[in-house]
Chains A and B, each alone.
Chain A
Amino acid sequence: MAEKVLMKGNEALAEAAIQCGCRHYFGYPITPQTEVAAYMSKRLPKEGGVFLQAESEIAAINMVLGATSAGVRALTSSSSPGISLKSEGVSYIAGSDLPALLINVQRGGPGLGGIQPSQSDYWQATKALGHGDFQLFVLAPSTIQEMVDFVSLAYEVGEKYRVPSMILSDGMLGQMMEPVEFPTKKEGPVAEKPWATNGHKNQRKKNIINSLYIEPEELENLVNERYERYAKIKEEEQRAEAFMVDDAEIVIVAFGASSRVSRSAVMQARAEGIKAGLIRPITLWPFPDKTIEKAVPTAKEFLCVEMNKGQMVDDVKLVVNGRKPVSFFGRTGGVIPTPAEVLDQIRALAGKEN
Chain B
Amino acid sequence: MAVVFEKPKALSDVPFHYCPGCTHGIVHRLVAEVIDELGIEGTTVGVASVGCSVFSYNYFDCDMVQAAHGRAPAVATGLKRALPDNCIFTYQGDGDLAAIGMAETVHAATRGENITVIFINNAIYGMTGGQMAPTSLPGQVTQTSPYGRDVSTAGYPIRVCELLSTLSGTALAQRVTVDNVKHVLEAKKAIKKGFENQINKRGYSIIEVVSTCPTNWGLAPAEAVKWLQDNMLPYYPLGVYKDVTAEGGNN
Contact = CB atoms under 8 A, between A and B. Distances in A.
A208 B82 contact: no
Interface residues of B, number: 37
A203 interface: yes
A200 B76 contact: no
Contacts of A70: 45, 78-79, 82-83
Contact of B104 (A59, A64, A197, A202): A59
Contacts of A201: 42-43
Contacts of A210: 48, 57, 64-66
Nearest to B47: A66
Interface stretch (B67-75, B183-191, B213-221): B67-75
Nearest to B48: A210
Interface of A: 24, 26, 50, 52, 54-56, 58-60, 62-72, 74, 88-89, 92, 96, 197-203, 206-212
Interface string B39-74: 001111101100000110110111111111001001
B240 interface: no
A270 B115 CA distance: 63
Interface of B: 12, 41-45, 47-48, 54-55, 57-58, 60-68, 71, 74-83, 86, 103-104, 106-107
Contacts of A67: 78-79, 81-82
B63 A198 contact: yes
A209 B64 contact: yes
Contacts, number: 135
A209 B76 CA distance: 13
A52 B77 contact: yes
11 contacts: A50-B81, A58-B104, A63-B81, A67-B79, A67-B81, A69-B79, A70-B45, A92-B68, A200-B42, A202-B41, A212-B55
Contacts of A60: 74
A58 B71 contact: yes
Contact of A197 (B65, B81, B107): B65
A55 B104 contact: yes
A74 B82 CA distance: 9
Contacts of A55: 103-104, 106-107
B68 A88 contact: yes
A66 B66 contact: no
